[in-house]
Every structure is written in C-alpha cells, then in structure tokens.
Structure 1
Amino acid sequence: MSPGLASNSQFSTRSVIVALREGVPHDQLEDYFGHHSRASSNIIRLQINDPVDGFPPIFYATARNDDRIIHLFARHGADVNSSFGHPPIPLLAFAVLHAKTIAAETTLCVATLLSLGAEAAAFPRAFFSPFQRDLPETGPEEDELDDMDDPRRAWCRGLDLRGRIAETLNLTQRYHLDKSARLAKPTDRQRQIAQRNHCEALFGVPYFMIGQMAATDMLKDNFLHYMLRRQFQPMVMVFAGPSGHGKTELARRLGALLNLELHVSDCTIVARENELFGPRKPYIGAEEGTPLNNFLARKNGQRCIVFLDEFEKTTQEVWNALLIPFDKGEYQDRRTLKTVNCSKTIWIMATNALDEDIMQFCEKNEGVFDQDDPFKRELLLDDLTEAMKDKFKELFKPPLTGRISAFIPFLPFSPPETYVGAHKYLLELMGEVRRPVNTSFGEEEQLLGDINLKVRQDASVCSILSQGYDPELGIRSLKKVVREKVATQLDSVYMATQGTIVEGQGMQDYEVYAYNNRIKIKPV
C-alpha cells in the first residue's frame, strides 16, 4: 500500500489524490476507503467533494480511466455531476476529452458516469441526437444548437472546444448520451427501495447493454416489485430471444453491478436431475456434488444468480426437480442431505425456444421498438409477454410456468443499434492493436501493435459494417464482419509498410474511413 494510504493514518483526500497520481492499484484504494468507512461512516463523505488543487477529487479518479475507481468514489459520495473552471467543464465532458490526452479509449468510463447519474444534459443535444450520424469536424451547426441558453452548457460555447468534442465523442458515447436523455429517471421511492436493498446499481444496467431497452426496463421493474413486497420466494425469470442478443450479457452485467456471484449451467448437457444437482447419498458420486449443487450450498441464504443457459435442452425430469427450489426456496444438498435456503437466489432460464414467436411479433408490430411512444410500446410488450407465457406453458407445462416471476423478451436489434454493435468490435480491435509490440518468441509475441487506430466518420463506417448483421446470429455476426472488413485489411496495410517490426517504435496512426460504401484503411 502507498505510504500515504496507511490504514492507521487519518483519512485524507489529498493523500488519495497523490496515490492516484502514483498509480496505486484499485484494490489498495478499496482497502483504504473500506477501513475508514468502517471506522466512521461519514468521514469520507465529508471530504470526498472538497477540491484538491482546484479540482473536485472525482476528476482525478476519472483521469485514471478505471471504471472501478469511479464506482468507488461515487459509492462514497463523490458527485458525478462535478465541474471545474470558468465556465465550468462538467466531469462527463472531461471524461470524453481525456481520451485525446491519454491516447486511449474512455468509453467505459463515460458509460459508468452516466450509469451513476451524470447528466447527459451537460451536452447540447445536437452532439448526440441522432446518435447514428457523423458529427461535423467543428461540431454541430449553429442553427442546431438551440439549447445553449442552459448554464450547464456554457462551457461548450467556444468553437475550439466544440471541435475537440466532435473529434473525440464516438458513436457508442453518443448512443449512451442519447439513451440517458430518453430514460425515465428513478423516482425517490424507487431509489429508496433500491438503496435499502443495496441495489442502486440496478438503474445503471441499460448503460452496459446494446439495445434491449424492453428487457432492462422489465428487469428493473420486476426487481423493484420483488424488493418492495419483501417476498421470501426466489425470483425466477425467463430470458427469451434469439441467440447473440444479450441474454447472457445482461445476467453477467446484473451480477457485476450488484456484486452478486453468478453461476452458469450449460443445459445442453443436462437431461436428468442428477446431471444438474448430482446423485443423493448413498449413491456413487454424491460426495462430490455438481457445480450447481455446491454453489447453492455455499451461497446458503445469500443473494446470488443462477443462469440456466439453453434451458429448452432439458427434460421433464429436470423441470420437476426445479419445482421445489423455485416455489419454496429450499434445496437439499446432495452431499449432506441438509436443507439449503435458496429463497434469495435469482434464477434465470435462458431459452431460444420462443425465438420464432418473438421475431414474428416484432415483424408485425414495429411499434415495440418505438421509444417515442412509450404507452403504445408498453401495450405491445404486454401482449408479447402474454404470448410468451402461453407458448412457454405449452412447451414446459403448467407447473413450471406457474412458478415464473417474469418473462423477459430480447428483441432483434434496430438498424441504429446494429451501428453500435459494429462499433463495439471496432473499439475492441482498437484496444488490441494499441498494445506494445513484443518480438519475443512464444505466448508474449505481439508483432501487430503500437497502433493508434482512428475511425473517421464512425457512423458512416458502422453503417457499412452493420449491413452484415444477421438477426439469427445476433451481435456475433458483427464481430465477424469487423474482422473480415477491418482487421484483415489493417493486417495487409501494416505488413505492406517498409521496415522491420521492432519494439519501442512509438505509436503509429492508422485511419479507418468510408469510401463508396466500402471500408478503407490508410496510415496517417
């Protein structure tokens, strides 16, 4: 631990800032904050927003470009709507601009700040709505900036700063800003219920998903209802929709944001009860248990998530075995025959068995995608979930269906959402090729590296890439397209450059751009 962060010393925001500048790891900061918050619950909150050398402390946290550190500061009372300077620049704008300073992606930090309550209204709307267009190099035209009277946007009146924002504000960031401006803010009562159950991060789930607004809304509403009623039965949900549209991702994000341990069971290999839970004593193998049996026993009485993937591959025997855990919140450990309390377990059954019904419904009812008509959209979603319930009952029988708390539909991506899906894999590629060149033989070898891959007119580029979207394959189809149309071409351009590949050669700039409905790459 950094000397300035010794746990036996008095809490000091300045010491934390010094440690941040020195690169102290996240876990040491977590230990330091945890020690002092246990000693006195208010000591950190009283100081966490006091400026250090003129800057609010959370600016230093954001400068580290580590979403975990931002979460840590916010959890202890740091204001994610802080600003500094004259006119004051909001933290959200700083996070966007900081990408150019450190020559690295800050998109995850921008999403994290929005998920924690940073206001998209700090930006003029023309910067992000519609998100699926290319921003002019100097920023939006003057006649589009009709909301500049708001003092929160005074920082953005200078033409130079607008150009810098337009240069760094990427497609995914614009998407999250647009989403934030559209999302209904939690009511005081919703926040109160979530806080009492340590689930405040529930409201941030949409910022880590592409599309699936219906799914994240339903998940939030069902969670809040469950916590309000203080139910002592497990929460049992069905995630249904075509492969590659976020079922597993939503479960993982939910677990990560709520700090809940997640267990995934692959149901493609489960046809009998003992394949899921294991044989009972005295049968052979009972003393070992299965991964699911041992997970439930270890999480006895604790909140956790069990994700049953490809549930349609199971059998009636497995469905019957789940009735008591789903209904009574009890489970018998196969190793010890002791009763395990699983009343706080969140069960998620993911299935593709309803894909055709969901796809056909969406084709006939395009209003289910309409964010601008929430009343019509809600009625259509009600119709869809009722149809899903009927189909599930037909396939999996009434006893199991009667124990389901919620049916959550995952819809095909809209055309603008496919742009964001393509951009997701562009960002991944940019991170891969930014790593330093390593000419060592073996696993550490990295001959393609030290590349700063820039995407000019990212909406046009992603529009071309999104043409490869396959609703049956989901977002994975876009990963394949990015590899074929961008990564392979980058390899060719890189290898066509004269000179041997050496370590420490410095960063080289390459530009991705759209030309005649094709993707092009060139060194710059």
Structure 2
Amino acid sequence: MPSPTDECIRQVMAQCPGCSEDTASDCLELCGNDVDKAIDKYKTIEDYLPPDPPSGNDASQNQLSADSNSQVETDGPHEILKGEGDSISEGHSWMPQLPVLTVPDVFIDNGPRQSDVFELPELLGAIQAGLFDADDVRKYLSHHNKECLDMNLNAEVHSYPAMFYVVSTNDISIICEWIKHGGDPNATWGPNAFPLIAFSILNGGRNMNQASRTLQTLLRFGAEPRAIPKAFYDPFCRDLPEDGPTKEELDDLDDDNKRWCTSDVRAHLAKSLSLSQRYDLYRSSKVKPHSGREKELLARQGAGEVLGLHEMIVAQSIATRWLKKKLLVYLALQKKRPLILVFAGPSGHGKTELARRFRDLMSLELHEVDCTIFKQDNELFGPRAPYSGYEDGSPLNNFLARKAGCRCIVFMDEFEKTSKDIHNTLLLPFQDGQQTRTSCTTVNISRANWDETGRYEDRRNGKIIDSSKSIWILATNKLDDSIHAFCSANKQILFESEDEEAQDQLVAKLCRQLRKEFIGHFGAPLGGRITEILPFLVFAPQESAVIVHKVLMDLETAVSRCVRLALNREEDVYVGNIRIRIKNDATVCSIIARDEYDKETGARSIAQAVERIVQDPLIGQYLENGDRFDEDQPVADFIVDVNVDKEVEKRQYQGLTEDEQNFKEEEVKKSVHREESLRFQSMLTGKVNAGSSSGNGNGGVASSARE
C-alpha cells in the first residue's frame, strides 16, 4: 500500500484539531488512505491517545515489532538526562530486570475476563503494555474477593513481586489502586531483599516529577523510608558525594535490611536521588507510626489515605499534624455538627495547597470561594424570595443543597475580605447546637432552627438543608503579624529542633492568641463557632530550597514536551525537546532560596525567581541556537549548576562528541516513540477495534500488538 500523501495528511489534520502529522499518517495507513475513514478513526480513539505523541520515522511497524520482543525494558530519557549512556538495569545484576510479559489476545480484544481465576501474569502484561488504565485495573480487582487478592497481589511472576511490575510503569493511579486492594509497598526482591522504594528511585521516570511522585506515593501508603540508609537523606539538603555517603556516615549499613546496598548500588543511588526525593524520605522517617485505632477509624470513615497527608505538601509539618489530629477526634466523636477550621498565615505558604490535598485524600468535593468578589450576603448565597433571581440560588447555596447530609468541603480564600453581613449568615451553617435562639437574635439571624445542628436554608425554595457533615476552611492573612513575630522569636525550636512536643506546646500558645485576635476582627458569634485555628508558618531555609526544586521540576516537565507545529497556530508547541539536568541540586536550590525567598509572598516569590534566573535565560538560549522549529529537531541538553562565584548558571550540555550525542538522541527518540506507539496501537486494538477480524484492515495492527 502506498504511503499517505501530504495532501491527505493535511486534510486529516485540518478536520482533527490536535492531531499531529504522525498520528494522521498512522490513521490513514490503518484505513487504506481513505481520508474520511481516517478522520472517523481519529475521532474514535482521540480520548485514548497519549498527550504530545512524538514525531519522526524511527518507529516503523517492523521496528515496533522487533523492539516489542526484547526481553528487558529499557529506561526512558530520564536516565540519559542523568548522564548515563545506558539504563541502570543494563549490566547490573543487583538491579531488577523485569521481563516483558505476554498479553493474550482476549485481553487485547475484550478486556479483562470476569472469571474466578485471577490471571496475574496476563493482568501485569496488560498493565505493562499500556492496555489497562487505573479504571480497568480497579474493575478487574473488584471482581475478586479479598482472599483471592491476598493470594495474588503480592505473588511473584518470573521471580519478581507483582508490585515491581506495577511500580515500573510510574502510573500513580494504577499504583494507588494496586496498594488499596492489598499490594505491599514494602515488597522486596531477591535473596538480599532489594526494597521496592530503592527500585523506584533507581528506575526513575520520564522526568524528575514523575520519579518523585512515584516515590512519594509509596511513602504515602506506608513504604518504610528506613529501608534506604539514613545518610542518603538525613540531612536532606546537601549534595551527596559521587560514590554516596562515606562509610563513617553509613552507621546503619550493617542492618539486616541493608544487604542489598552494596558500594555499586550506593553510587547509583546517590546519582539518582533528587533533593525532593531526599526530602520526602527524611520527612517520612520523622512521622510517628499511627496506632491501630487511628488506622481503623479513618478506614471505616473512608479517609484512610489522610494518614499520608504529610507527603502531599512541602513544609507546614505542624499544620499538617494538627489537621490530622483534629480530624481524628472529629470523626471519632461523630458529632452532628460541621468542622470549622481557620488556616491562618502569609500568602504563598500552602493554605490552598493543603486544602486541595486534604480534599484529594478524603475523596470529597471541594467548593472554592474567592471572598474578594463577595461583599453582601445575597452575592454569596443568592437573593431571598421574592427578590429577582432567587430561584437560581448561587454556586455556594446550590453546592450545600446538593451535598445535604453528605461530607464535603467549602474553602473560603481571603476570608478577611468578607463583610459582617456574610459573617452573620455563616452562623447558620456553622451552628454547633450550643447557642440559644435568644443569643442569636442579637445578630439579627432569621428563621434559625437551633434544635438541629449545621442547618442552612436553601435560598431557592426555603427548604432546610442539613450541612452538619460539612467541613469549612477559612483562609486568612489577617493574623500574619502575630505569626511572623512568633516565627522570629522561636526559630530554634520551630526550624532546627525535632522535638514535636515542644513545638506543639508553643503552637498551642500561639493558637490561643490567634483565637483572641480572630474574635477581635470577626466578632464573638463567628469566632465562637471556630473548631480550630491552624497557623501556617514561614518556610525554613531548607524547606525553601525544596520548593525551588519543585518549581524546577515543573519547568523540566514543561520544556520536555515535543515540539509541534499544528494547522491551528494556537496549538503550536515551540519550546520543547529540551532536557534539564540539575547538578548539585541542593546547592543550586539553596542559593536561589536564600537570595529570593520572601516571607510575605512565600512560594510565589520562589516561582518568579526561577522564571528570571533559570527559565527565561534557558529558553532565550534555546531560541538563539536554532534556525527553525521542527518536530524532528534534536534534543537540547541544559545543565543548571553553580559557577566558581557561587552563582547559578545555565549552559547547554556539550559533554559528548557529535557522534555520541547523535547516537544518544536517536536512541532516546526511538525509546520515546516506541513507547507511545505501543500505547497508540494498544488503544486502537484494545479499545476501538475489539473483536475485529484480521481481514478488516486492522488485523495487521492487532496481530503486531499481540506479537
């Protein structure tokens, strides 16, 4: 069959916004160069396509078939970014080398079989090939009972625990599903008990963000950080020696669970561990184990993942710890009243981020309110009848009505901007049942029903809404002066000590002061209904450095996309095909944090600094060094490091000869394109053409994928 013409490819791209040239060509080949059928084909599989598929002619059908038969999967660009010519798994007997598992036809054509037989190798093969996403895995696992899952989820396939196959995908959603159903985040492999978290670190990911999130997920679900020698992450904010910590520092190397950690492994571990990963290990190692009652309580209330809340946000360990404690007490008492929390602290210090992560782990809906745009009660909650528009309510009113009797979260940002009119109306949903009708008439609240707790009246129809299970979070900067003074006066205990009891005693004293100030600003009726005030403190120097690293990881992810020139210019991607390597990451990030972190604006000041110091010069150099944009343009490697004057510098990496650089870029493009092509073909065969015969024009692709 002749190759698709340029005109046919352009016609498909014109009718399919977001379709790249390679994808259009693939669809045309599958449909016998019929443009209309190719357009229909793309629209059918569009939802299943991976983002930004790479371009180029490196992954032909023959190459795809040959590479699919390889025995060991190679790592993606992340390892090459670190300066390795080969992946860590190659040539090292201590590193798990997972085989590529066979995927039966029935898994490709029809999805998981709903039988009583748990087909572990087939399931892992489907996950490995990208045929199953998290929803598919959930459906498959939910079909089997607990006894069956206990027997299979931690079993071995070709001598490797199932968890190793799952973690090798770096798919956070699939990893979470596997662990929730019984997978062991502390699984080990081989006679030396090689730990899963060490495999996760060395296996890496497509970028630093992906590798960091995988480790973070394992720790959040209970992986033991002490399986890694302590000297690798305590202290976390230092550049590790090239060969790893010295033997004098490795005082726990003789532990029974460290037999795997040979000198060769330690050198690779030191090279692989990023600042963010070291911080995650350090922070997790400092969290006290939760009791059986705490775990059971949260599990029965559907909030078991909250135990890992500390892994979801940088810094604010005290606020996170207090939030977990308050939630445990609130759920244990099962009182029929709302939980009203105040997040008090300077801008950019994690109030919104913690609220969103709390929502994620509680699996609850969150309604955000920007208090800067609401001045009157009827603007926030909607007008009362018979005023115009009362039948429409308001977003907040309708959210409370829809979640009546159910647990939900309302986050009110910049609460200090609200008026007394709004404060008075909030007394209704905040009501804790202890006030009397008489006490509330002093603030002119009508239609109150104090026999029930957490009641609110729907403005659209006058019906009483049960909001007793709602969680309200009021974020405010109004108390910043006291928090700044508190941090300045107690630096040693707050930022240099690990004595949680001493920290909690100080914070309890601060909270009593903040409660008085809150009542002074917002009035006793509202202040008396606050369950707890959680202070958000300024960042310690080491924490600021970690935030710098997080911003740099986001930058690396953004510039690693594939360059794409689409027919619709708004969909063009000009900055891409860039790899960033951060050398001496602790030093680089500490310098930026030291010079740029502002206590008044927090993480925002750090993000702006990274833009000025790293992003803008790097992209400027990228633009200067090229004549044109090309989807097949070579990968540009940049290093962020510190020069002799202790200043952060950016330079394009020229450490290889031209032939070596070309070979490396060619291998990276093949690896990336091969992986995306496998996913693309799998989606076509497994989700679109299920049950198609080999004679309908798609059989060749299905056969290739099955091979």
The interval holding the TM-score normalised by the smaller chain is: over 0.9
State the partner residue of 2:389. Answer: 285
Q: CA deviation at 1:31?
A: 4.4
SS at match of 2:472: strand
State the partner residue of 1:514. Answer: 642
SS at match of 2:648: strand
1:232 equivalent among 325, 336, 357: 336
Q: CA deviation at 1:444?
A: 2.4
Q: Is 1:334 aligned with 2:459? A: yes
AA in 1 matched with 2:617: Q
Q: Percent identity?
A: 39
AA in 2 matched with 1:351: T
2:311 equivalent among 207, 210, 216: 207
> d(CA) in 2 for partners of 1:160 and 1:41?
40
State the partner residue of 2:590. Answer: 463
Instruction: Provide TM-score, normalisation by structure 2.
Output: 0.71
State the partner residue of 2:632. Answer: 504
RCO greater where, 1 or 2, for CA within 8 Å and sep 6 or more? 2
Q: CA deviation at 1:80?
A: 0.2
Q: Is 1:443 aligned with 2:550? A: no
Q: Is 1:23 aligned with 2:130? A: yes
> d(CA) in 2 for partners of 1:352 and 1:33?
47
Q: Is 1:319 aligned with 2:445? A: no
State the partner residue of 1:489. Answer: 617
Q: Is 1:146 aligned with 2:272? A: no
SS at match of 1:144: coil
2:516 equivalent among 378, 381, 390: 390
Q: Is 1:94 aligned with 2:199? A: yes
> d(CA) in 2 for partners of 1:427 and 1:96?
16
AA in 1 matched with 2:149: I
Give the alignment of 1:230-309 within 5 angstroms: 230-309=334-413
SS at match of 1:161: helix
Unaligned runs of 5+ in 1: none
SS at match of 2:367: strand
> d(CA) in 2 for partners of 1:236 and 1:265?
15
> d(CA) in 2 for partners of 1:294 and 1:422?
39
AA in 1 matched with 2:468: S
Q: CA deviation at 1:315?
A: 1.3
State the partner residue of 1:352. Answer: 477
AA in 1 matched with 2:530: I
Q: CA deviation at 1:375?
A: 2.3
Q: CA deviation at 1:225?
A: 0.5
Q: CA deviation at 1:3?
A: 4.1
> d(CA) in 2 for partners of 1:25 and 1:485?
41
State the partner residue of 2:488. Answer: 363
Q: CA deviation at 1:230?
A: 1.1
| Deviation by residue 1:372-430 (Cα, 9 ceiling, x = unmatched) | 22222111011111111010011111111111111100000000000001001000011
SS at match of 1:265: strand
> d(CA) in 2 for partners of 1:213 and 1:410?
9
SS at match of 2:391: coil
2:121 equivalent among 14, 20, 28: 14
Range 497-506 or range 54-63, more displaced = 497-506
Q: CA deviation at 1:70?
A: 1.3
State the partner residue of 1:48. Answer: 153
Measured at CA, do residues 323 and 378 of structure 1 come closer, stay the same or move farther in structure 2, by a change above 3 Å?
same
State the partner residue of 1:419. Answer: 545
> d(CA) in 1 for partners of 2:276 and 2:258?
21
The answer on whether the counterparts of 2:114 and 2:140 sit within 8 Å (CA) in structure 1 is: no
Q: Is 1:409 aligned with 2:535? A: yes
AA in 1 matched with 2:544: T
The answer on whether the counterparts of 2:167 and 2:200 sit within 8 Å (CA) in structure 1 is: yes
| Deviation by residue 1:228-248 (Cα, 9 ceiling, x = unmatched) | 111110110000000000000
> d(CA) in 1 for partners of 2:108 and 2:367?
35
Measured at CA, do residues 493 and 291 of structure 1 come closer, stay the same or move farther in structure 2, by a change above 3 Å?
same
Q: CA deviation at 1:284?
A: 1.2
Say how many residue pairs are matched: 521
SS at match of 1:45: helix
Give the alignment of 1:34-113 within 5 angstroms: 35-36=142-143, 40-99=145-204, 105-113=210-218
The answer on whether the counterparts of 2:189 and 2:195 sit within 8 Å (CA) in structure 1 is: yes
Unaligned runs of 5+ in 2: 1-106, 432-452, 654-707
SS at match of 2:244: coil
AA in 1 matched with 2:559: V
> d(CA) in 2 for partners of 1:248 and 1:145?
39
> d(CA) in 2 for partners of 1:104 and 1:24?
23
AA in 1 matched with 2:456: Y
> d(CA) in 2 for partners of 1:201 and 1:507?
39
State the partner residue of 1:114. Answer: 219
SS at match of 1:141: coil
Q: For the pair shown, which has the larger CA radius of gyration, 1 or 2?
A: 2
> d(CA) in 2 for partners of 1:264 and 1:498?
44
Instruction: Provide TM-score, normalisation by structure 1.
Output: 0.96
> d(CA) in 1 for partners of 2:162 and 2:398?
43
SS at match of 1:413: coil
> d(CA) in 2 for partners of 1:443 and 1:305?
36
Root-mean-square deviation (CA), in Å? Answer: 1.8
AA in 1 matched with 2:587: S
Range 294-303 or range 81-90, more displaced = 81-90
The answer on whether the counterparts of 1:241 and 1:411 sit within 8 Å (CA) in structure 2 is: yes
SS at match of 1:419: helix
Q: CA deviation at 1:445?
A: 1.5
| Deviation by residue 1:17-65 (Cα, 9 ceiling, x = unmatched) | 011112135343254246415xx34432331111122222222221111
The answer on whether the counterparts of 1:369 and 1:377 sit within 8 Å (CA) in structure 2 is: no
SS at match of 2:156: coil
The answer on whether the counterparts of 1:368 and 1:381 sit within 8 Å (CA) in structure 2 is: no
The answer on whether the counterparts of 1:5 and 1:15 sit within 8 Å (CA) in structure 2 is: no
| Deviation by residue 1:479-509 (Cα, 9 ceiling, x = unmatched) | 1111111111211332343554321335332
> d(CA) in 2 for partners of 1:55 and 1:348?
45
> d(CA) in 2 for partners of 1:27 and 1:122?
28
> d(CA) in 1 for partners of 2:213 and 2:478?
33
The answer on whether the counterparts of 2:134 and 2:174 sit within 8 Å (CA) in structure 1 is: no
AA in 2 matched with 1:493: Q
